[in-house]
């Protein structure tokens, strides 16, 4: 199984179809001359409900981390009431290991804008905000330029070909974040968009009912929206010819993994980068074919499947399939962003866990005690173990602490703590020997035990 | 550290006569940014970005002026500003070197970059050189994992760094 032709990378030279050295920004003219905005015209000839039905039928799942079916999300919106409704595009991409949305923003921003316009038409949303992380300075400028071009081409604005939506001219704005990972969480993003600190909200209400400015709001990842034009252009059946179906006879509750996917690969491989392939390729294929093998011919030790929140794959999981069922099958949280971080035999897993905990303790928004305090404690414990000052009890303490934090154990508001939970638990469980080797078997006894009867 | 609210209650606020949010910027923001959002508060991040872009950091007076412009209490703007890593509430060096320390960059050897910078600049992460030229920071993931290790110098990203090419980047700064 391997992708026949590039879809998201159709205009972005990427191995094996093209040489990344030839990449350049696709401006409006080149976008139009290569078939761009044709899918939008096709969607505009369809009823909004037909567009949603096509996306539903394609079984497209969100590419931002959670894998929620996009068509179903779009279907949750209440009926129109004539007031404003929003699309917020999640371009906050801050999960370590993830740099895939950046490829689209750097080189083919109109693909995203076309997806946005189709979504606005389908869901009757009049205003789109693209929330892009603050550190993406160059990307924000590129994107703004593309947005300006799209206004001139009447995708958005007073003379938009979308017509009026909710009795308003459709608008699309770039909104820059300011260096906070948590603002990638959808409700934190909304708070941040409203000009407040990025504190995730309790759900329900879900954003589709009461999102930005307490109005119905759809939130989708950049890659999710960027694939929509192809689905409209070539149809759900074509989309489902790529990727991986659910196992034969499996109930619909088992997620299918249709379509192409952008994979990021970084760490100890010869050719790191972003590649496009079918959903469901094996980690080994990604490393050997796209990554051109392990750096220095070293042995594979482990890999993070999709951003550090997802936990880790061990040495015996080299052939794990990168699809939406990876979590259940291989004991991790999920596919996440498919930003794979590869580690060779020389990697110290205690240091990996320490690095990850520092990230989470730094990025915790601080609302929930288990997350705010727990991630910090784990970071301290891991620093101590790494420095050789830990005891075997510390390992159990790590497992106890990590296992108790997160929205799944029900102790926190959002999924950041689940990320810390899964990362630490799976690293400790799958690489316990690394930890055992660093700790003292018995705690130091600080008190001198005196023989009975002295004095 | 997103959740630590930086010191504010006992801080002396330096005042100057000339406003940070001057009439030109005010008019520009009023025309370009405010109409984008249903509330004025939603323009907080764009307004702070604009102020910081102009002044390189956000003095308290600038925050208070932003609050006035946004129809908010200064504490509301301070509340938001302290949450975000990018907003600098203290003066910084002319060049802010932000070395990524997240997992892919650590696997690819960011530590040697930080050590080299320590030696070259004679400061620890968080510090500023005496001449006010450089501030060194270690930051979390910059979204450049495929070209790790990387660092932002002000608004420019530098990728696939080695000690040598980072040195070159710094030496060539105006
Ligand atoms: C802590 C945290 C950080 C997240 N960061 C991002 C992000 O940077 N980009 C993104 O698209 N989704 C991120 N998500 C997922 C979003 O909450 C949301 O599920 C997603 O944007 C929905 O879009 P999709 O359905 O198209 O994937 C994050 C979630 C959590 C819990
Ligand atoms: S889990 Fe952590 S990041 Fe999420 S809301 Fe709670 S404290 Fe904030």
End-to-end CA distance of chain B: 31
Residue at B88 is within a domain:
no
Are residues A421 and A402 in contact, defined by beta-carbon separation less than 8 angstroms?
Answer: yes
Pair B102, B165 in one domain: yes
User: Which of B25, B52, B83 is the last residue before a domain boundary?
Assistant: B83
The yes-or-no verdict on residue A447 having pLDDT over 70 is no
Q: pLDDT class for B19, splitting at 50, 70, 90?
A: very high
A272 vs B: CB within 8 A: yes
Pair B66, B114 in one domain: no
Residue at B136 is within a domain:
yes
Beta strands A127-132 and A171-176, pairing class: parallel
pLDDT tens-digit map of A60-103: 999 999 999 999 999 999 999 999 999 999 999 999 999 999 99
Residue at B90 is within a domain:
no
Contacts of A370 in chain B (CB under 8 A): none
- Residues of B at the A interface, defined by Cβ within 8 angstroms: 1-4, 36, 38-39, 41-46, 48-49, 70, 79-80, 82-87, 101-104, 106-108, 139-148, 152, 155-157
Residue at B2 is within a domain:
no
User: Which of B83, B111, B141 is the last residue before a domain boundary?
Assistant: B83
Answer whether A276 contacts ligand 1 (Cβ < 6 A): no
End-to-end CA distance of chain A: 80
Residue at B5 is within a domain:
no
Provide the domain count of chain B. 2
Other Cβ atoms closer than 10 A to B91: 13
Answer whether A208 contacts ligand 1 (Cβ < 6 A): no
Predicted pLDDT at B51 = 98
Residue with CA nearest ligand 1 atom 6: A184
Spacing of C-alpha A310 from chain mean position: 10
Residue at B30 is within a domain:
yes
Residue at B151 is within a domain:
yes
Pair B108, B72 in one domain: no
Residue at B133 is within a domain:
yes
The yes-or-no verdict on residue B7 having pLDDT over 90 is no
Q: CATH no. for residue B54?
A: 1.10.10.1590
User: Which of B33, B57, B83 is the last residue before a domain boundary?
Assistant: B83
Pair B100, B79 in one domain: no
A87 vs B: CB within 8 A: no
Pair B107, B67 in one domain: no
Pair B142, B112 in one domain: yes
The yes-or-no verdict on residue B79 having pLDDT over 50 is yes
Q: CATH no. for residue B155?
A: 3.40.30.10
Contacts of B157 in chain A (CB under 8 A): 135, 137-138
pLDDT tens-digit map of B124-148: 999 999 999 999 999 999 999 999 9
The yes-or-no verdict on residue A444 having pLDDT over 60 is no
**Domain architecture of chain A: domains with CATH:** 20-243 (3.40.50.11540), 259-344 (3.10.20.600), 349-436 (1.20.1440.230)
The range of the structural domain enclosing residue B124 comes to 95-171
């Amino acid at each position: 199984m391997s992708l026949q032709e590039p879809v998201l990378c159709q205009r972005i030279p990427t191995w094996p179809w093209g040489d990344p050295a030839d990449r350049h920004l696709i401006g409006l003219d080149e976008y139009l001359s290569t078939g761009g905005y044709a899918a939008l015209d096709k969607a505009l000839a369809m009823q909004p409900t037909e567009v949603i039905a096509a996306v539903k039928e394609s079984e497209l799942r969100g590419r931002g981390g959670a894998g929620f079916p996009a068509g179903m999300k779009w279907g949750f919106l209440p009926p129109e009431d004539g007031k404003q409704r929003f699309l917020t595009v999640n371009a906050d991409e801050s999960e370590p290991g993830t740099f895939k949305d950046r490829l689209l923003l750097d080189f083919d921003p109109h693909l995203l804008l076309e997806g946005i316009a189709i979504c606005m038409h389908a869901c009757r949303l009049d205003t789109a905000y693209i929330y892009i992380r603050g550190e993406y300075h160059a990307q924000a400028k590129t994107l703004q330029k593309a947005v300006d071009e799209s206004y001139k081409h009447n995708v958005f604005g007073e003379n938009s070909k979308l017509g009026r939506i909710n009795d308003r001219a459709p608008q699309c704005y770039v909104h820059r974040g300011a260096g906070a990972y948590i603002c990638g969480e959808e409700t934190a993003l909304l708070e941040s968009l409203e000009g407040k600190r990025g504190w995730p909200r309790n759900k329900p209400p879900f954003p589709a009912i009461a999102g930005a400015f307490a109005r119905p709001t759809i939130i989708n990842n950049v890659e999710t929206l960027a694939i929509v034009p192809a689905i409209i252009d070539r149809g759900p059946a074509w989309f489902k010819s790529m990727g991986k179906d659910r196992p034969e006879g499996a109930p619909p509750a088992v997620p299918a993994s249709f379509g192409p996917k952008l994979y990021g690969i970084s760490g100890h491989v010869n050719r790191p980068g972003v590649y496009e392939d079918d959903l469901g390729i094996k980690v080994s294929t990604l490393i050997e074919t796209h990554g051109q093998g392990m750096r220095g011919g070293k042995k594979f030790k482990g890999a993070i499947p999709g951003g550090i929140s997802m936990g880790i794959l061990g040495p015996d999981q080299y052939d794990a399939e990168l699809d939406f069922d990876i979590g259940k099958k291989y004991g991790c949280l999920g596919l996440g962003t498919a930003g794979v971080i590869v580690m060779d035999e020389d990697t110290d897993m205690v240091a990996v866990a320490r690095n990850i905990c520092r990230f989470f303790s730094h990025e915790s928004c601080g609302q929930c005690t288990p997350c705010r305090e727990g991630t910090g404690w784990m970071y301290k414990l891991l620093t101590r173990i790494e420095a050789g000052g830990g005891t075997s009890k510390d390992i159990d303490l790590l497992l106890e602490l990590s296992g108790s934090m997160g929205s799944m154990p029900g102790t926190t508001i959002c999924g950041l703590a689940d990320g810390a939970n899964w990362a630490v638990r799976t690293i400790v469980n799958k690489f316990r020997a690394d930890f055992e080797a660093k700790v003292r078997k018995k705690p130091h006894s600080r008190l001198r035990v005196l023989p009975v009867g002295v004095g | 550290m997103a959740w630590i609210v930086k010191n504010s209650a006992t801080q002396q606020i330096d005042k100057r006569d000339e406003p940070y949010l001057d009439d030109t910027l005010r008019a520009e923001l009023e025309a370009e940014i405010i109409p984008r959002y249903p509330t004025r508060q939603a323009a907080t991040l764009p307004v702070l970005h604009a102020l910081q872009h102009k002044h390189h950091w956000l003095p308290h007076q600038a925050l208070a002026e932003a609050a006035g412009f946004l129809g908010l209490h200064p504490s509301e703007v301070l509340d938001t500003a302290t949450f975000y890593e990018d907003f600098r509430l203290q003066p910084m060096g002319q060049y802010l070197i932000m070395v990524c320390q997240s997992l892919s960059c650590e696997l690819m050897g960011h530590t040697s970059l930080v050590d080299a910078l320590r030696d070259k600049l004679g400061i620890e992460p968080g510090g500023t050189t005496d001449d006010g030229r450089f501030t060194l920071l270690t930051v979390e993931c910059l979204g450049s994992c495929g070209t790790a290790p990387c660092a932002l110098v002000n608004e420019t990203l530098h990728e696939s760094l080695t000690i040598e090419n980072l040195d070159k980047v710094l030496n060539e700064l105006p």
